[in-house]
Amino acid sequence: MADQHDFGLVGLGVMGRNFILNVADHGFSSMGLDTDPEKVSALKEEGANVRVDGTTDAAAFVAALATPRKIMLLVPAGKPVDAVIETLLPHLEQGDILIDGGNSYYADTERRITYLEGKGINFFGAGVSGGAKGARRGPSIMPGGSKDAYEHVRTIFEAASAKVNDEPCVAYMGRGSAGNYVKMVHNGIEYGLMQLISEIYDVAKKGIGYSNEKLADLFTEWNKGELQSFLVEITAEIFQKKDDLTGKHLVDVILDKAKQKGTGKWTSQNAMDLGIPVPTIDSAVTMREISALKDQRVAADKLYHTPSIGNDKPDAKTLGHALFFAYIVSYAQGMSQLAAADEEYNYGLDMETIAKIWRGGCIIRASLLEDIRKAYDKNPKLSNLLLDEDFIKTLKTIEGDARIVVQFAVASGIPVAGLSSAIAYFDAFRSGNLPLNLIQAQRDHFGSHTYERTDREGIFHTEW
* Whether residues 247 and 120 fall in one domain: no
* Whether residues 153 and 244 fall in one domain: no
- Evaluate whether residue 149 is within a structural domain: yes
d(C-alpha 53, C-alpha 71), whole Å: 14
- Evaluate whether residue 330 is within a structural domain: yes
Helices (H), 360-453: 368-378, 389-411, 417-429, 436-447
- Evaluate whether residue 178 is within a structural domain: no
Q: What pLDDT score was predicted for residue 306?
A: 82
Name the active-site residue from 39, 117, 119, 183: 183
* Whether residues 160 and 204 fall in one domain: no
Q: Flag whether 186 is marked binding.
A: yes
* Whether residues 167 and 258 fall in one domain: no
End-to-end Cα, the chain, rounded Å: 81
* Whether residues 378 and 357 fall in one domain: yes
Mean residue pLDDT across the chain:
95
* Whether residues 216 and 363 fall in one domain: yes
Q: Are 84 and 75 in contact (CB under 8 A)?
A: yes
Q: Are 364 and 231 in contact (CB under 8 A)?
A: yes
225: enclosing H helix or E strand? none
pLDDT tens track for 72-115: 999 999 999 999 999 999 999 999 999 999 999 999 999 999 99
The Cα angle at residue 182 between residues 180 and 183, in degrees rounded to 5: 60
Q: Flag whether 130 is marked binding.
A: yes
- What is the pLDDT averaged over residues 219-248? 96
CA-CA distances (angstroms) from residue 187 to 105, 190, 378? 12, 5, 26
With DSSP H G I counted as helix, E B as strand and the rest as coil, what are the percentages for the chain, rounded to 5? 55, 10, 35
Instruction: Assess whether pLDDT exceeds 90 at residue 258.
Output: no
- Evaluate whether residue 31 is within a structural domain: yes
pLDDT tens track for 137-150: 999 999 999 999 99
- What is the pLDDT averaged over residues 56-62? 96
**DSSP code at position 122:** E
146: left (phi over 0), alpha (psi -120 to 50) or beta: beta
Instruction: Assess whether pLDDT exceeds 80 at residue 311.
Output: no
Q: Flag whether 152 is marked binding.
A: no
Q: Are 368 and 359 in contact (CB under 8 A)?
A: no
pLDDT tens track for 381-418: 999 999 999 999 999 999 999 999 999 999 999 999 99
Q: Flag whether 111 is marked binding.
A: no
For residue 277, is the peptide bond before it cis, meaning its omega torsion is within 30 degrees of 0?
no
CA-CA distances (angstroms) from residue 218 to 225, 232, 320, 369? 11, 10, 9, 22
* Whether residues 397 and 447 fall in one domain: no
- What is the pLDDT averaged over residues 127-145? 93
Provide long-range contacts, Cβ within 8 A and 24+ apart, for 248-252.
249/212, 251/212, 252/212
Q: Flag whether 320 is marked binding.
A: no
Residue 183 annotated to the active site: yes
Residue 190 annotated to the active site: yes
**DSSP code at position 388:** S
Tell me which residue of 200, 192, 233 sits closest to 319, measured CA to CA: 200
pLDDT tens track for 264-280: 899 999 999 999 999 99
- What is the pLDDT averaged over residues 267-294? 96
* Whether residues 118 and 217 fall in one domain: no
Q: Flag whether 456 is marked binding.
A: no
Q: What pLDDT score was predicted for residue 305?
A: 84
Instruction: Assess whether pLDDT exceeds 50 at residue 27.
Output: yes
Q: Flag whether 321 is marked binding.
A: no
Instruction: Assess whether pLDDT exceeds 60 at residue 1.
Output: no
* Whether residues 239 and 388 fall in one domain: yes
Q: Which domain holds residue 238?
A: 183-430
* Whether residues 77 and 127 fall in one domain: yes
d(C-alpha 283, C-alpha 151), whole Å: 39
Name the active-site residue from 39, 70, 190, 356: 190
Q: Flag whether 69 is marked binding.
A: no
Q: Flag whether 103 is marked binding.
A: yes
Number of domains in the chain: 3
Q: What percent of the chain has pLDDT over 70?
A: 100
Reported as half-sphere exposure (CB side, CA atoms, 13 A), residue 239 has a value of 22
Reduced to 3 states (helix: H, G, I; strand: E, B; else coil), residue 350 is coil
